[in-house]
Amino acid sequence: MPLLRLLGQVLTRPLDKHFARCLLCGSGDEVQAGVCASCQCDLPSLGHACIGCALPLAETQDRHFDRYCATCIQRPPPQASSVACWAYAYPIAQLVQRFKYQRDFAAGRTLAELAAQALHPHVQQPPRIDILVPIPMHWRKQLFGRGYNQARLIADIFADYWRLPVAPDALRKVAASDSQQTLSRAQRRKNLAHSFAAGPQVKDLHVGLVDDVITTGATQEAAAQSLLAAGASRVSVYALARTP
CATH of the domain at 52: 3.40.50.2020
Instruction: Determine the Cα–Cα distance for residues 85 and 210; give it in Å rounded to an integer.
Output: 12
Residue 134 has pLDDT above 80, yes or no: yes
Confidence of residue 16 (pLDDT cuts 50, 70, 90): very low
- Mean pLDDT across the stretch 107-131? 95
Amino acid identity of residue 240, one-letter, is: L
> Is 222 contained in some domain?
yes
Parent domain of 94: 47-242
> Is 89 contained in some domain?
yes
Instruction: Determine the Cα–Cα distance for residues 87 and 131; give it in Å rounded to an integer.
Output: 25
Task: Report the range out of 13-17, 174-178, 192-196 with the highest average pLDDT.
Answer: 192-196
- Percentage above 90 pLDDT, the chain: 66
Number of domains in the chain: 1
Residue 1 has pLDDT above 60, yes or no: no
- Mean pLDDT across the stretch 65-80? 92
Predicted TM-score (pTM) of the model is 0.85
Residue 86 has pLDDT above 50, yes or no: yes
> Is 53 contained in some domain?
yes
> Is 7 contained in some domain?
no
> Is 235 contained in some domain?
yes
CB 166 within 8 A of CB 132: yes
SS3 of 149, please?
coil
Integer CA distances (angstroms), 94 to 107, 116, 148, 151, 241, in order: 9, 19, 19, 17, 12
Instruction: Determine the Cα–Cα distance for residues 101 and 144; give it in Å rounded to an integer.
Output: 14
Residue from 104, 106, 88 nearest 44 by CA: 88
> Is 187 contained in some domain?
yes
> Is 202 contained in some domain?
yes
> Is 23 contained in some domain?
no
pLDDT per position as a tens digit, 172-192: 998 766 555 555 566 666 667
